[in-house]
């Protein structure tokens, strides 16, 4: 998968392309530098999936749950502040990722060794013109 996002006005189209390219997958790890747009992209994807809640970065809470009428919730993780893997196990990470819900993970490099099998790794690169490229070899 390779999706170019030229500006914020194209986010909805990028989210639709993302969902089409990753159909059948539920676990996503988003890699990118600070300010690359991980949370912004996840917000656009959640909106396309029918989330009406406000989508924000769970930097301080580690996880946000977004409800969708008549469907499984969506879980949004931010591992930026994780100090060790024990913290991840303590809040029951495996229980979230074992179900049917979408799971979107920011800063997954902090927990790389315990990412579940089947996690799709998405790299977000900031290009010299300010556009973003979403890339994954797995889809």
* Residue 15 falls inside a structural domain: no
| Structural domain that includes position 103 | 24-122
* Residue 130 falls inside a structural domain: no
CA dihedral sign, ordered 24, 29, 32, 37: positive
Q: Mind listing the pLDDT tens digit for each residue in 21-78? A: 999 999 999 999 999 999 999 999 999 999 988 999 998 889 999 999 899 999 999 9
pLDDT at 78: 96
* Residue 78 falls inside a structural domain: yes
101 touches 75 (CB < 8 A): yes
How confident is the model over 64-93, as a mean pLDDT? 94
Collect all residues with Cβ–Cβ distance below 8 Å to 12 and sequence separation of at least 6.
Answer: 44, 47, 48
How confident is the model over 116-137, as a mean pLDDT? 97
pLDDT at 138: 87
pLDDT at 59: 85
* Residue 11 falls inside a structural domain: no
Phi first, then psi, for residue 23 (nearest 5°) are: -55, 135
* Residue 103 falls inside a structural domain: yes
E strand or H helix at 4: strand 2-5
Q: Is 14 helix (H, G, I), strand (E, B) or coil?
A: helix
In the chain, what percentage of residues exceed pLDDT 70? 100
Count up the domains in the chain and report the number.
Answer: 1
* Residue 131 falls inside a structural domain: no
Q: What is the CATH number of the domain that holds 31?
A: 3.40.50.300
Collect all residues with Cβ–Cβ distance below 8 Å to 117 and sequence separation of at least 6.
Answer: none
Beta strands, E only, 38-131: 63-68, 71-78, 103-106, 120-126
Collect all residues with Cβ–Cβ distance below 8 Å to 131 and sequence separation of at least 6.
Answer: 4, 5, 6, 7
pLDDT at 139: 86
* Residue 112 falls inside a structural domain: yes
* Residue 33 falls inside a structural domain: yes
In the chain, what percentage of residues exceed pLDDT 90? 91
How confident is the model over 79-87, as a mean pLDDT? 94
Q: Per-residue confidence at 102, pLDDT binned at 50, 70, 90?
A: very high
């Amino acid at each position: 998968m390779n999706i170019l996002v030229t500006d914020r006005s194209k986010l909805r189209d990028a989210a639709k392309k993302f969902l089409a390219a990753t159909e059948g997958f539920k676990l996503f790890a988003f890699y990118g530098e600070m300010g690359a747009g991980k949370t912004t992209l996840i917000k656009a994807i959640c909106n396309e999936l029918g989330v009406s809640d406000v989508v924000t970065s769970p930097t301080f809470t580690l996880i946000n749950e977004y409800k969708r009428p008549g469907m499984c919730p969506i879980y949004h993780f931010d591992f930026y502040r994780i100090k060790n893997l024990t913290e991840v196990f303590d809040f029951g990470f495996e229980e979230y990722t074992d179900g049917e819900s979408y799971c979107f993970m920011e800063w997954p490099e902090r927990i790389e060794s315990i990412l579940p099998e089947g996690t799709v790794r998405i790299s977000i690169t900031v290009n010299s013109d300010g556009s973003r490229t979403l890339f994954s070899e797995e889809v």
